[in-house]
Structure 1
Amino acid sequence: MFNVTGLLKRLVIGRAMRSEELGETLLPKRLALPIFASDPLSSVAYATQEILLVLTLGGLAYLHFTPWIALAVVLLMTVVVLSYRQVVHAYPSGGGSYEVASTNLGPSAGLVVAASLLVDYVMTVAVSVASGVDNIISALPSLAAHRVGLAVGFVALLTAMNLRGVRESGRAFATPTYLFIGGVLIMVGTGLFRYLLGDAPVAESAAYGIEPDPADAGLAGFALLMLVLRAFSSGCTALTGVEAISNGVPAFRKPKSVNAAKTMLAMGAIAITMFVGVTTLAMVAKVHIVEDPCRLTGLADCEAYTQRTVIAQLAASVFGGSDSFGFYFMQAATALILILAANTAYNGFPLLASILAQHRYLPRQLHNRGDRLAFSNGILALATVAAVLLWVYKANVTDLIHLYILGVFTSFTLSQLGMVRHWNRELHAETDPAVRRRHQVARSVNGLGACVTGLVLVIVLATKFTQGAWLAVLAALVLWVMMRGIRRHYDRTAAELTVTDPRRELAPPPRVFAIVLVSTIHKPTLRALAYARAFRPNHLEALTISVDREAADSLKRQWEEYGIEIPLKILDSPYREITRPVVEYVRSIRRESPRDVVGVFIPEYVVGHWWENLLHNQSALWLKSRLLFTPGVMVTSVPWQLTSSAHADHPAARAPGSVRRGEPTRNSETPR
C-alpha cells in the first residue's frame, strides 16, 4: 500500500529535492512574471465586464461613465504599482505589506494586513477559477451543468502543479500567460484598426436594449454617485494580486529586489495597456451585458439565452464570429489565464503563511517545505478552502466577486501608511541632501498611495458591504483573532519550557516506579517486561485488569508456572473498563509519592495492512492519550512488529518481531 502511494506521489509531484537545491528554484524575470502577475494580468478579462454589469443596472443611460471609471482605475493602478516598487526595494526579504505594516505600524496592524491578504488570496483562487470556467462555458454552453465540478477539478490540477515546485509551475504557466497577453493585444489592435478604417466591430449584444432595474431607473444626485462608485469598486478588481511580487521577492534571482521591481513595472505597464484596450474596444463594439439576460430587450427567449462574457463578445466581433479560429483561441487563452491566475495566490498565500508561521502566528507546519521545496501545507490549505467556497457558491462569479478586493485595499492602505513612517524615519537619520530629496519624493508617492487606496477602501466597504463583503470582513476578523490566540499559545509554551535552573531540571527523581501492562503472557509481554527491567527501576510490577475472574485466575496460575519473579497486580473492573482503572491506579501512586516518576510500559504489536486495522481495537492509543495528561508519568511503547508489517514501509523484509529503535509505531494496540 505504501509503495503504491509513494509511486503516485512521485508521479504527481516529482522526485524529492535536497535542501541544497533551493537555489535552483529561484526565478528569472520571464518566469516570475506569469507566476506572480498572472492575477492582475488576467483581471483584464473581467474588470471591464464588472464595470458594465453595474452601470447597466440603470439601462443604457449610464454607460457613458465607463471611460471615466476606467481612467480612475488606471490612475489608481499606476499609483499602487509605483508605491509597491518602493516596498520591494525597502523590504527585499519578502512579506510585502505584512512586513511593512508590522515594522512601522505595529504587530496588530501587521496582523490586519495578513488576515486581509490571506482571505483575499483564497478569493483570488475562487474568483479566477470560476471566471475561467465561465469563459469555457461561453465557448461550450453544454458544459454549464458541470460548472462546479469543472471548477473544483481545476483547483485540484493547480494544486498538483504547485506541489511540484515554483519553478516547474512557472514553466507550465508561462506559455498560457504570454499567449493571453498576445491574444488580447492582437484583438484590441485589430478591432481599433478596423474602427479607424470605418469598419468598427459590432458585438452580438449591441442590437439588444437594456431594461433598467426598477430600483436603479432614473437615478440622480447621491443615488447616481453611489451607482458610479459601485461600478468603480467593481472595476478595482483589476488591482488584485499587485502586491504578490512584493511578497515573493525571495523567489527571484539575484539581484532580487532589482529583478522584482522590474517585473512589477512590466506587469503594471502590460495590465494597464490591456485594460484600457479592452474597455475602449467594448465601448466601440457597444457590448451590452447584464446580470439577468431577461433585462435584455429584443430577445425571443431570454430564459434559454446564454450570455457570453465581454471578452467572448469582443473576440467574436473582431475575428468574424463565434466559429472563427480567433474566437476559440481567445476563449481558450482567456480560460487558461483566468484559471492560472489563481497561481498568484498559490505563491502568495503559502509564502505569507510561512512568514506568519515563522513569527508564531500560524501553526509551525506551514513553515515547512515539502519534497519539492514548496510550502506544501500552505498550498493544500489554500486549495481546500477555495474548493469549499466554489462548492458553496456554485462557482458563480457574480456572487463571489462581492467578497473580493476588500482585503487587497486594506493591505494597500496600511502598507502605504507604513511606508510613509518608514521614509519619515529615514529622513530623520539622513543628512545627504540628494538622498533626502529621493526619500521625500518616495514619501510623497507612498502618501498619495495611502490617501487614494484608503478612499477606495471606504468606497468598497460602502458599496459592497451589504452585498456580501461583510462575510470577507468577518472571515478576516476571525482569522485575526485566531492568529493572536496562536501567538499567545506559542509564547506561553516557550515561557513554560524555558530553562531557568539547569541543575534542578537535570536532577534525577528520587524513585522510579515502573508498571508493565499485561493482558496475557506471550512474546510482546515478555519483551516489555525485559525492557522495563533493563531500566533498573526502584520498583517494578506487572498490572492486569480483570474483566473476567476466570481469565485473571488463569493468568495468575500461568504467571507462577513460568516462574516470573516480577509481582503481578490484578485490578478488578466490574464494568469491564480497562482505561479508567489503569489511569486511576497510576494517579493513586502519584498522590502517595508526588516526587516519584511512574513509568508505564505498554507492549504493542504493529500490523502492516490497512484492512488489518479494522480487525483490532486501539486500546493502547487510548490509554496513552489519557496517561499523557498525568504529570510525572512517562509512557513507553514496546512494539512487536508482525510479519505483515515487515513489508509495510520498506521493500526489504525484516524478521518477525524485529525492533527498529527510534521509529514510531502505527495502528498499534495493547495485545490481548
Structure 2
Amino acid sequence: MLSSVKRILIGRPLKSTALGDQKLNILKALAILSSDALSSVAYGTEQILIVLSTIGAVAYWYSIPIAVGVLFLLAALIISYRQIIFSYPHGGGAYVVSKENLGVNAGLIAGGSLLVDYILTVAVSVSAGTDAITSAIPQLHPYTVPIACVLVVMITILNLRGLTESATILAYPVYLFVFALFILIGVGIYNIMTGNVSHTFYHPALGTPVEGISLFLLLRAFASGCSALTGVEAISNAIPNFKDPAPKNAAKTLILMGSLLAILFSGITFLAYYYGIGPKADETVVSQIARETFGRNYLYFFVQGTTAVILVLAANTGFSAFPLLAFNLAKDKYMPRMFAIRGDRLGYSNGIVALGVASILLIIAFHGKTEHLIPLYAVGVFIPFTLSQTGMIIRWVRKKQGGWLAKLSANLIGAIITLTVLLIFFITKFTQVWFVFIFLPLIVIMFHRINKHYEAVGEQLRIHPESPAIPIEGNVIIVPVAGFTKVVENSINYAKSLTDQIFAVYVSFDREDEKRFAEKWEKWQPDVRLVTLQSHYRSVLQPLSKFIDTVEHKASENNYRVTVLIPQFITKKSWHNILHNQSSLLIRTYLIFKKKVIVATLPYHFKK
C-alpha cells in the first residue's frame, strides 16, 4: 500500500541513464533557481519601510537612495558570481570557493551558513506567501501556520517527482508573477505620468529634512533592503543541473535573473514611495500598491494570487540548491552519506525530505512570522557572499590568469560591500541574529565530527597487505531454542548442514521446566548438544549473553568464529506480528553489537 501511495505521489522510478534528461534549459532554470531572488521583491521594499516607519512617513523618501544602494550591490554580486560560475563549473558555489582558497573551516562556515539559509529560504518564502494569501482573504489569518505547513509538504512532493517535472510546473507561475508585476508597475507609472490616479498621494519630496533620522537607522534600513538579494547565489551552486554548455547557460540565467530583479525591485520601491505607502500588520506593501493602482478588482487579485504563488514557490530555490550542497558536503565526508544518494526520480531525495521537515519545524517554532526570520535569513546569505568573494580574490592573486586584475577588482568591490552589509546586520540587528555565533560553530563542529568518524571507518576498513587477516579455521553455531517446533527443527537442520559444532541453548525460569525440556530434547535431537541456562530474573538476554561470551572466548583461541542462528517465524499478514512477542528481534538487536559474533536469522514463513 505504501509503495502504491509513493508511486502516485512521486511517480515511477527513472533509470540512471535518464539523468541527462533531467537537465535544465535557461527558461526552466530561471524559473526554478531564480524564484527566490525574484520573489524577494515582494518583501524587500517592505523591509526598508518597516525600519523607516519608526521615524514616520516623512522618512519614506529615503527608500529611493537606499534602493539605489541595493541595486549597486546587486550588480557587484552578479559580476562576482558570474566569475565563480566560470571558475568552478562543477558547482558548489561559496562552499567550494571558500574551501579551496580560504581553507576547510572557511568552506564549512560557508556551507553551514548556506544549509541554514536554504532552510530559512523555504520557511520565509512559504510564510511570506501565506501572508499574501491572508492579506487577500483575511478570514484565513488564524490558520497561517497550518496553511504554511501544507504548502511545504506540497512543494516537497513536487520536488521528489524530479527536477525537470518540477521546473515545468513552476515555470508558469514564475513567469505569470513577472508578467503581473510588469503590468502593475507599467500601469502605476502610466497613471502617475498621465495624472490618472484615484486621489492625491502624500509623498515627501526627495531631500526633505527628517527630524530624528540617523546613520544607524539608515544603515539598518539598507541592511533590511538587502534581503531582496537572497537567492542570488543559488545558480552558482546548481551548475550541474544545467544543460551543456552548463557554465554558459548558468551565466546567462544569472544575468537574466539580475536584470529582472533590478527592474521589479526598482518599480515596486518607486510606486510605494509615490503612493506614500507604509507597512501594515494585516496587508503587504505589494497588496496596497495593487489596491491603489487597480482597486480590488480582478487585476488586484491576479497580482495577489501570482505574488502568493511565487512567494510559496520561491521555496523551490532552496529545494534545488540544498540537496546539491548537501551532496558536495557528503562527498567530502562532512555530512551523512545518505545525502549523496539519488532517489527514484534521480534527485537527492534525502536532502529534499530533510529540508522539508526542517522548514516545517522552523515555521511552527516561529509561528509563521516572516519578519522574525528575515534578519537571520539575510545573515545566512551574506556570510557565504563575503567568504566567496574573498576566496575569489585569493584565487586571482594566486593564479594571475589573463585579465586577473579586472576580475580581482570586481571581487574586491563585492567583498567590501558584502562584508559591510554583514557588519551592519550584526550591529543593527544583533538582538535578532546573535545566535548565529552559537549555531554556526556548532554546525562546523558537527561537520568535523562526522568527517572524523568517516576517516576512522575508512582506516578500519582499509586492507593492509602487510597485515594479513587471521584465517578462520571453523565455525561454532549457537541456536537459541524455546520449544519443540518446526521453526526450531528447521534451524537445527540448517545448522547441521554447516558444521557439527552446534549448541542448542534453552533458557529456563525454573528447575522442573529445565529438567523436562532436557529429557524431551534427548529423545528428539540426541546428536545436538543442549545447554540449559537458569534465569532467576526471567531474562533471556542476560544468561544467553554470558554463555555466548564464554563460547566466543574459547573459540577465538582456535581461530573459530561463533554464529548465533536465531529461528524466527514470519506471519502471513503483517498485523499478525502484534499477536506474538518479538523475542527473536530483541535477541538479534542486542547481539548485533557484540564483538566477533556473527548474528544470522533463519526465517520460517507461515502459509496461513
Question: Does TM, scored on the shorter chain, surpass 0.5?
Answer: yes
Structure 2 distance, partners of 1:59, 1:549, is 89
In structure 1, the residue corresponding to 2:376 is in which secondary structure? coil
In the other structure, the counterpart of 2:232 is 242
Q: TM-score, normalised by structure 1?
A: 0.87
Checking the alignment, whether the CA contact within 8 Å between 1:521 and 1:555 is kept in structure 2 is no
| Consecutive unaligned residues in structure 2, runs of 5 or more | 205-209
SS in 1 for 2:56: helix
Q: Quick one: which amino acid aligns to residue 499 of structure 2?
A: R
Match of 2:438 among 469, 474, 481: 474
1:589 to 551, 554, 561: 551
Deviation at 1:552, TM superposition (A): 2.9
SS at match of 1:37: helix
Pairing 1:616-655 to 2, within 5 Å after superposition: 616-643=580-607
Matched, 1:543 2:493: no
Structure-1 residue corresponding to 2:350: 377
Is this contact kept in 1: 2:330–2:337, CA < 8 A?
yes
Structure 1 residue 465, shift from structure 2 partner: 2.1
SS of aligned partner of 1:514: strand
The correspondence of residues 213-224 of structure 1 with structure 2, limited to 5 A, is 219=212, 224=214
- Equivalent positions of 1:195-274 (< 5 A) are 195-200=192-197, 219=212, 224-274=214-264
In structure 1, the gaps of 5 or more residues are 210-216, 292-306, 645-672
Q: Distance in 1 between matches of 2:535 and 2:585?
A: 20
* Aligned Cα root-mean-square deviation (Å): 1.8
CA drift of 1:404 comes to: 1.3
Q: Give the counterpart letter for 2:350 in structure 1.
A: N
Query: Can you list the C-alpha shifts for 1:611-666, whole angstroms capped at 9, x where unaligned?
Result: 2232223322322232223222111111112236xxxxxxxxxxxxxxxxxxxxxx
Match of 1:464 among 429, 437, 440: 429
SS at match of 2:89: coil
Q: Distance in 2 between matches of 1:384 and 1:563?
A: 55
| Structure 1 residue matching 2:601: 3-state secondary structure | strand
Matched AA of 1:529: I
Residues 336/608 of structure 1: CA separation in 2 closer, same or farther (3 Å cut): farther
* Structure 2 counterpart SS, 1:489: helix
Which SS does the other structure have where 2:603 is aligned?
strand
User: For residue 526 of structure 1, what is the aligned residue in structure 2?
Assistant: 489
State the match for 1:326 in structure 2. 299
Q: Structure 2 length normalisation: TM-score?
A: 0.96
The alignment partner of 2:565 has SS state of: strand
* Alpha-carbon shift at residue 112 of structure 1 (Å): 0.3
Please give the alpha-carbon distance, in whole angstroms, between the structure 1 residues aligned to 2:578 and 2:7: 28
Closer, same or farther: CA 573–484 of 1 in aligned 2, 3 Å? same
Shift of 1:606: 1.9
Residues 318/442 of structure 1: CA separation in 2 closer, same or farther (3 Å cut): same
Change (3 A) 1:182 1:616: same
Per mean C-alpha deviation after superposition, the further-off stretch among 493-502 and 94-103 is 493-502
Give 1:592 deviation, angstroms: 3.8
CA–CA separation in structure 1 for the residues paired with 2:489 and 2:511: 22
2:375 alignment partner in structure 1: 402
Q: Which moved more, 1:411-420 or 1:630-639?
A: 630-639
1:361-372 superposed matches below 5 A: 361-372=334-345
Alignment map for 1:304-383 (pairs within 5 Å): 307-319=282-294, 321-322=295-296, 324-383=297-356
How far apart in 2 are the matches of 1:125 and 1:232? 23
Q: Distance in 2 between matches of 1:288 and 1:632?
A: 71
Q: State the Cα deviation string for residues 354-382 of structure 1 (Å, max 9, x = none).
A: 11111111110111111101111101100
Once the two structures are overlaid, the 10-residue window that deviates more, 580-589 or 84-93, is 580-589
- Please list the CA deviations of residues 299-332 of structure 1 after superposition, one character each: whole Å capped at 9, or x if unmatched: xxxxxxxx3111111111111x12x111000000
For residues 145-184 of structure 1, the aligned pairs below 5 Å read 145-184=142-181
Q: Measure how far apart 1:425 and its partner are.
A: 2.2
How far 1:146 moved relative to its partner?
0.8
Aligned residue pairs total 601
Structure 1 counterpart of 2:212, one-letter code: L
Could you tell me how far apart the structure 2 residues matched to 1:190 and 1:509 are? 84
Counterpart Cα distance in 2 of 1:606 and 1:261? 57
Structure 2 contact 203–274 (Cα < 8 Å) conserved: no
Contact 2:287 2:304 in 1 (8 A): yes
2:267 corresponds, among 277, 285, 299, to: 277
1:87–1:608: structure 2 CA closer, same or farther, 3 Å change rule? farther
CA distance in 2, matches of 1:479, 1:643: 51
| Secondary structure of the corresponding residue to residue 579 of structure 2 | coil
User: Map of 1:70-149 to 2, 5 A cutoff?
Assistant: 70-149=67-146
Residue 667 of structure 1 corresponds to none
Letter in 2 for 1:559: W
Q: Which residue of 1 aligns with 2:207?
A: none
Task: Say if 2:202 and 2:274, in contact at 8 Å, map to a contact too.
Answer: no
1:599 — aligned with what?
563
C-alpha spacing 1:308/1:259, structure 2 compared with 1 (3 Å): same
One-letter code aligned to 1:355: N
Which of 531, 535, 543 aligns to 1:573? It is: 535
